[in-house]
Chain A
Amino acid sequence: MTLSNGLSVVALPHRHVPVVTVDVTYDVGSRVEAPGKTGLAHLFEHLMFEGSLNVPKGGHFDRVSEAGGTLNGTTSEDRTNYYETLPSSRLDLALYLEADRMMGLVLTQEKLDNQREAVKEEKRLRIDNQPYGRSYEAAEALVYDSFAYRHPVIGSMEDLDSATVADLADFFSRFYAPANAVLCIAGDIEPGDAFRAAEEHFGPIPYRNPAAPFEVWEKPPSGPRRVEIEDPFATLPALHLLFKVSPRRTRELFALLHAEKILMGGESGRLWRRLVKESETALSVSAAVDERRGPSLFRIFAVARSERNLQDLESGLWHEIEALARDGPTEREMLRARRLLAADMIRGTQTTQSLAFLISEYALFDRDPSLWKPDFHTILEISPEEVLAAVRSLLTRDRSACVHIHPSDSQGAS
């Protein structure tokens, strides 16, 4: 259902327990940020909890907590969401709070200064003070060409310091229109009741022009990229091997989901078996498909057992990827990958919150929240030939970026 102000509303009954999740996902992420304004989308997300037209600072936290609920927000490159999970008898409260902050915020210099400091602490906590923390930023800056994806979601300290109240007010007016958002209500609800409640709370919000469509533009692959960095906190060397691949919801990306399971679906995956168990060059290996609206990433991160293993580790990764590109998956590997993917889908739709997150993205990005089910089927129908073709065309040296991380020995050798 779409309200007259352009807000899309999705209601999904899931009645196992008396719980509901309300999720509002806005079509704005760090990809829209300009140079000099990095971190604004995430900083703005923090300000959304600092009081709105009829709710004082702290009120969103207090009122949801008092109702026995939890709440938070997340910002990615592609979107920002806000959610409450609470007893279903308190659905109205969550809708009231989300509608109130969609209607308007009370932005002040004091609130901005306060949350700027909180975000800078978050950046230190998650990135600047952690082993390998900054290497993730270095890896994305290396693999992408477009500013949209090559700068970190959390931004730079300098840009956070320079953000103004006027920047935030402008951000709200550009991106926080009802027509730029999706409201998803998932849980112990009757859809008719949920739609009526959504209309009651969100209907009075006036129409505002939605943001102009945004596309991430990337250059074609231009050869392997490489950088060496020192890390003051790491005690073991490590590497990122990234590939710039296809956008979300493409068949070749679905095929790479299988490749990821074949390479690193568990301890039987090729990478773990060869590099952690057999050659013992790696302490750990992980792989993931980072699905995006623009070019996605196929990520591998591996920690080496010692400095002298680092080059062997990279060679070992390439050996396994190229063996898969040459010979393709075995029948048993395909069966196993399908089972692992099916299990992920089942486990990933157990809670009202995971369902709401999943469906909101389909509703926002594809204008069709029901696509998640056919997509699940399509993923499971991918053939071994498609996996082979995707690995051959996408996990190539031309598309790769490799970051070697060397401990700088600041912590003293053991």
Chain B
Amino acid sequence: MTGRSGFRLPRYDECVLGSGMRIRASRWGSRPTAAIAVVFPRGGSIWEPAGSLGISEITVESLLGGTASRTAQELAETLDDLAALLDLSAGFDSTVARFYLLEPDLREGLELLSELLFSPGCPESELEKVKSRMQDAIESQRSDPDFVVQERMVAALYGDHAYGHLLPDPDFLARATLDDVTSFHRAAFDPSEATVILSGQIPTERAMETLRRVFEPLRGPTTPSLPGPPGAEAPAAPLPPDPKTSREAHLIERPESVQTSLALARRSVPRKAPDYVAAVVANQVLGGGPSSRLFARLREERGLTYGAFSTFTSRLRASHFMASIDCATEKTPAALSLLIEILEEFAASGPTPEEHEKARNFLTGSFVLARETPGGILQDEITRFLHGLPEDEWETWCDRVQAVTRDEARQAAERHMSPGSAVLVAAGDRAGIEASLREFGPLTIWDPRGTRLE
């Protein structure tokens, strides 16, 4: 229970199946729907063998290429017959399959999901199509200014570590074989390590019984998987030193741009750090919404940008803070200068008493808003599971937010949000923005495809 507005979070039932797979279910929602997540803790890119950057994403994409008993077309038709929505995403730490069903189709849908995830049958011909489409999709993604900024930013923050790559290695993508996919799948999609979470407008007992019937027959892989138990260090390159000790700037030359997409980022507070909640409160003040400082000063006072926000991104082994804006080429010097000024001021003095109060009230009051649907409730549980957070993480969240003092928020801002040793990445018209980026720190210039120009 959150203790606010009479809102109560749902309780989960849990059991462990013979394979070691954990299943959890809670009753939630106002409509006859269910949201299901299957979490594979070793499905992320940090678990990719050396020299096979992108195999997690290729494997996930190949799952729709067919199963042991269905062709790709039969699979697509059955999914659409059920009006099911499937979101397969290969992340950095793990892979999560999110699946949305109507309540009457629960059993049939879960059986299809189990078949798709655990009995893959993508033929060579389908895999070649998947790879070819991924190559063209990469080309298309790089036309998006925000994407190329994000790609360069993670590269600057995390170097050669898996966290530093948003896309597969093109050479590996070209040569990846069905054997590569099969062996990664065997290691990463191990039922004994998977957790299935269900949230939906279904009595919990019936949901648990259905999950049990569908997933109980599964067993772990018959051949050895990747070395190391869950939670062990993944076979990925070591993280670059943290924190960086100086500023650096990157410009992605994007001819004919009329606007600069700009992000300022730094390595930051780990999700399980004692001051994480204080950092969340501080971030709400700085860039958490339309009443934040960045929005108020950059947009509402100066009209320099449409949006101005800041966020923390938490991964298992490292995290980062980012503030971002998009502004017309000619406004870039003024917007960048003001952005840095606001960040420096905030790191030095933290929130005002009024800002501190408002931010805590927003975070606790809006807690219920994000939890109207089964999908919202499911996301809490995925986050809790992936980061190994305590069972009562969300029950105690609002109280912990309210308990953050102004001084704790100020310290968190100083420690985790200062632009002192940050990375600045901008995509736009080189002639219009190069000089102001050089003022920030040593500048490297790239093209949108990641080729270093200078």
**In contact, A351 and B80 (Cβ under 8 angstroms):** no
**In contact, B102 and A346 (Cβ under 8 angstroms):** yes
Question: Which B371-414 residues have a C-beta within 8 angstroms of A?
Answer: 371-373
Number of interface residues of A (CB under 8 A): 73
Return chain A residues, CB-CB under 8 Å to B64.
Answer: 267
Return chain B residues, CB-CB under 8 Å to A19.
Answer: 368-369, 372
Return chain B residues, CB-CB under 8 Å to A57.
Answer: 300
Distance in angstroms between the alpha carbons of A115 and B304 in the assembled complex? 10
From known contacts A235-B143, A349-B31, infer whether A414 and B449 are also in contact, taking CB-CB under 8 Å.
yes
From known contacts A268-B79, A351-B373, A414-B449, infer whether A131 and B143 are also in contact, taking CB-CB under 8 Å.
yes
Task: Say whether A54 faces chain B, with CB atoms less than 8 Å apart.
Answer: no
Chain B, Cβ-Cβ closest to A113:
B303
Distance in angstroms between the alpha carbons of A45 and B29 in the assembled complex? 33
Give per-residue flags for A253-273: 1 if the beta carbon is below 8 A from chain B beta carbons, else 0: 000000000000111110011
Across the A-B interface, the 5 shortest Cβ-Cβ residue pairs = A68-B365, A117-B303, A343-B83, A16-B30, A267-B76
Distance in angstroms between the alpha carbons of A234 and B139 in the assembled complex? 9
Q: Can you give 25 contacting A-B residue pairs, CB < 8 Å?
A: A17-B7, A18-B6, A58-B300, A61-B289, A66-B357, A68-B365, A69-B365, A88-B5, A89-B5, A115-B303, A117-B304, A118-B305, A118-B306, A124-B259, A130-B145, A232-B255, A233-B143, A233-B256, A236-B143, A267-B76, A267-B79, A280-B129, A347-B31, A411-B447, A414-B449
Binds A, one of B130-138, B213-221, B343-351, B437-445: B130-138
Closest CB of chain A to B425's CB: distance in Å? Answer: 16
From known contacts A61-B290, A343-B83, infer whether A412 and B31 are also in contact, taking CB-CB under 8 Å.
no
Return chain B residues, CB-CB under 8 Å to A88.
Answer: 5
Question: Which A223-270 residues have a C-beta within 8 angstroms of B?
Answer: 232-236, 265-269
Distance in angstroms between the alpha carbons of A340 and B77 in the assembled complex? 12
Give per-residue flags for A328-357: 1 if the beta carbon is below 8 A from chain B beta carbons, else 0: 000010011001101100110111100000
One of A62, A125, A343 near B306 (C-beta < 8 A): A125
Chain A, Cβ-Cβ closest to B373:
A350
Closest CB of chain A to B194's CB: distance in Å? Answer: 24
Give per-residue flags for B280-298: 1 if the beta carbon is below 8 A from chain A beta carbons, else 0: 0000000001110001100
Closest CB of chain A to B173's CB: distance in Å? Answer: 14
One of A116, A131, A276 near B303 (C-beta < 8 A): A116
A18-B7, A68-B361, A235-B142 are known; give 14 further A-B pairs, CB within 8 A: A16-B29, A16-B30, A17-B371, A17-B372, A57-B300, A62-B291, A65-B290, A86-B366, A114-B300, A268-B76, A276-B133, A277-B72, A339-B83, A349-B31
**In contact, A121 and B30 (Cβ under 8 angstroms):** no
Return chain A residues, CB-CB under 8 Å to B300.
Answer: 57-58, 114, 118
Give per-residue flags for B127-160: 1 if the beta carbon is below 8 A from chain A beta carbons, else 0: 0010011001101101111000000000000000
Task: Say whether B82 faces chain A, with CB atoms less than 8 Å apart.
Answer: yes
Distance in angstroms between the alpha carbons of A125 and B262 in the assembled complex? 12
Task: Say whether B24 faces chain A, with CB atoms less than 8 Å apart.
Answer: no
Return chain A residues, CB-CB under 8 Å to B33.
Answer: 346-347, 350
Distance in angstroms between the alpha carbons of A119 and B300 in the assembled complex? 11
Task: Say whether B328 faces chain A, with CB atoms less than 8 Å apart.
Answer: yes
Which A residues contact B (CB, under 8 angstroms)? 14, 16-19, 57-58, 61-62, 65-71, 85-90, 113-122, 124-125, 128-131, 232-236, 265-269, 272-273, 276-277, 280, 283, 303, 305, 332, 335-336, 339-340, 342-343, 346-347, 349-352, 410-412, 414
One of B30, B80, B82, B361 near A67 (C-beta < 8 A): B361
Q: How many A-B residue pairs have CB under 8 A?
A: 205
Closest CB of chain B to A297's CB: distance in Å? Answer: 24
**In contact, B140 and A125 (Cβ under 8 angstroms):** no
From known contacts A57-B300, A87-B5, A265-B80, infer whether A410 and B255 are also in contact, taking CB-CB under 8 Å.
yes
Which B residues contact A (CB, under 8 angstroms)? 4-7, 29-33, 64, 72-73, 76-77, 79-83, 100, 102, 129, 132-133, 136-137, 139-140, 142-145, 254-259, 261, 289-291, 295-296, 299-307, 326-328, 357-358, 361-369, 371-373, 447-449
Closest CB of chain A to B201's CB: distance in Å? Answer: 9
**In contact, B255 and A350 (Cβ under 8 angstroms):** no
The SS class assigned to the B binding surface is mixed
One of B80, B144, B366 near A131 (C-beta < 8 A): B144
One of B32, B77, B82, B367 near A68 (C-beta < 8 A): B367
Return chain A residues, CB-CB under 8 Å to B255.
Answer: 232, 410-411
**In contact, A277 and B79 (Cβ under 8 angstroms):** no
Chain B, Cβ-Cβ closest to A265:
B80
Return chain B residues, CB-CB under 8 Å to A119.
Answer: 306
Return chain A residues, CB-CB under 8 Å to B257.
Answer: 129
Return chain A residues, CB-CB under 8 Å to B102.
Answer: 342-343, 346
Chain A, Cβ-Cβ closest to B303:
A117
Closest CB of chain B to A58's CB: distance in Å? Answer: 6
Closest CB of chain B to A175's CB: distance in Å? Answer: 24
Distance in angstroms between the alpha carbons of A65 and B102 in the assembled complex? 34
Distance in angstroms between the alpha carbons of A303 and B137 in the assembled complex? 10
Chain A, Cβ-Cβ closest to B301:
A114
Distance in angstroms between the alpha carbons of A332 and B78 in the assembled complex? 11
**In contact, B369 and A66 (Cβ under 8 angstroms):** no
Closest CB of chain B to A14's CB: distance in Å? Answer: 7
One of A14, A342, A351 near B83 (C-beta < 8 A): A342
**In contact, A114 and B303 (Cβ under 8 angstroms):** yes
Return chain A residues, CB-CB under 8 Å to B254.
Answer: 233, 411
**In contact, A346 and B32 (Cβ under 8 angstroms):** yes
Closest CB of chain B to A134's CB: distance in Å? Answer: 11
Return chain B residues, CB-CB under 8 Å to A346.
Answer: 31-33, 102
Distance in angstroms between the alpha carbons of A57 and B295 in the assembled complex? 13
Chain B, Cβ-Cβ closest to A157:
B258
**In contact, B369 and A266 (Cβ under 8 angstroms):** no
**In contact, B30 and A14 (Cβ under 8 angstroms):** yes
Chain B, Cβ-Cβ closest to A338:
B83
Distance in angstroms between the alpha carbons of A411 and B326 in the assembled complex? 19
Return chain B residues, CB-CB under 8 Å to A71.
Answer: 290
Closest CB of chain A to B3's CB: distance in Å? Answer: 12
One of B81, B259, B290, B305 near A335 (C-beta < 8 A): B81
**In contact, B5 and A18 (Cβ under 8 angstroms):** yes
Chain B, Cβ-Cβ closest to A408:
B256
**In contact, A283 and B133 (Cβ under 8 angstroms):** yes
Chain B, Cβ-Cβ closest to A349:
B31
One of A65, A90, A117, A267 near B80 (C-beta < 8 A): A267
One of B7, B80, B301 near A266 (C-beta < 8 A): B80
Residue among B73, B145, B365 facing the most chain A CB atoms (10 A cut-off): B365
Return chain A residues, CB-CB under 8 Å to B366.
Answer: 68-70, 86
Chain A, Cβ-Cβ closest to B427:
A129
